[in-house]
Amino acid sequence: MSDFTPTIRAFCCHYTSQQTCAEGPEGLKQDGFPENVSLFRVPCTGKLQVSTLLQAFEDEVDGVYVVGCPAESCHNVKGSQRAAKRVAAVKKALEELGVEPDRIAMYHMERGFHPEFIAAAQQMDKTITKLGPSPLKGEAA
Amino acid sequence: MIIAERKPLAEIVEMTRNHENILVLGCRGCVTVCSAGGEREVELLASLIRLGAKKEGRKITVQEGVLVRQCDKEYVDSLDSWKNGYDAIVSMACGVGVNFIANLRPSTMVYPGVNTTFFGGSQDQGVWTEQCAGCGNCVLHLTGGLCPVARCAKSLMNGPCGGSQNGKCEIHSEVDCIWQMIHDRLERLDRKEQMLEVAPIRDWRTAGHGGPRKTTRDDLTV
């Protein structure tokens, strides 16, 4: 499993990723942001639907995570709370499918907290690498 | 409205295991309002069925569709114009929809995607509670508009059982005792004496205990 590099899709809101996106791809690389994490920026994580998160698994990613504002101080009031509920719904769905629920995670962080943003990506990369390829790719069968 | 909730995925996967081309069919009626079987839920279930099949290495095509209602012949008939073939339908309508497809499509296999639970209303966002049992013999005029058949755990017809405490049901402590509510409401409306009227032994035949029920309106049939 040591040569396995997971494909990870991250959804983050406009505010939490502001500084990160300002760095540009080269800056991110230098800061240690894993190259196997694809960043999808949305105006608010509350906009994400369960189907969008499931679609990522249908697209054969190994892990998904969402970064939104702190639950009690979302720029759009309850957006990140909604996102957390939807991530929880996908966790439940993964359990129903007999797949590790840790393949999806929710992070809450203040805007502009760049080191924490990088750390979340690294943590997710570590978790998914340990879990191995997603069984939902159908490769095991 | 009729309240429903999606069946466990494992149950749906098991019942459709032998099919390779499934149509997941939603309904824009009650199940859309209670977020159990509308367009969005169809999209989710279809995705989950595809992922489940892929995990098992099974090839499957899952199509998605939604009818205006599945409890009217006219709308079920619109399945005739479905361009792509399918070998089974997973209906996300209430049990009425599943029955209607089975009635009208003798050679189509249809499976229920939801459990139909009760007649209820939206108490809060994401919370639905039972309000009516469809018993066929309404007594709401005697009970201040609050139904003891649906909302009393014992469906008592002549006042509370005596087990309620602090206005809460002894069976479900989070549920208000409906007879306490009926009493308080009638008192507020200055109609408390209605409580003294003894309800006779109830004839439950109208509640479906006499077999399937039917309503015919001559003025509407041609």
How confident is the model over B166-209, as pLDDT tens digits? 999 999 999 999 999 999 999 999 999 999 999 999 999 999 88
pLDDT at A3: 86
Q: What is the pLDDT of residues B63-117, one digit of tens each?
A: 999 999 999 999 999 998 887 789 999 999 999 999 999 999 999 999 999 999 9
d(CA A74, nearest CA chain B) in Å: 20
d(CA B53, nearest CA chain A) in Å: 8
R_g over Cα of chain A: 15
pLDDT at A141: 45
> Does CATH place domain A8-130 in 2.160.20?
no
Please give the mean pLDDT across all residues of chain B.
Answer: 95
CATH of B2-118, one of 1.10.357, 3.40.50, 3.40.1350, 2.40.50: 3.40.50
Alpha-carbon gap, residue A38 to A130, rounded angstroms: 19
CA-wise closest residue to B184 among B129, B149, B146: B146
CB contact under 8 A, B48 and A93: yes
Chain A residues with beta carbon closer than 8 angstroms to that of B55: 97-99, 135-136, 138, 140-141
Do the beta carbons of residue A11 and residue A48 sit within 8 Å? yes
Distances in Å between the Cα of A127 and the Cα atoms of A63, B91, B110 are 9, 38, 41
**Assigned token pair, B34:** 């209670």
CB contact under 8 A, A97 and B56: no
Residues with Cβ < 8 Å from A86, sequence gap 6 or more?
Answer: A48, A49, A50, A53
Domain boundaries, chain B: 2-118, 133-200
d(CA B59, nearest CA chain A) in Å: 10
ipTM of the complex in this document: 0.89
**Assigned token pair, B109:** 């296999």
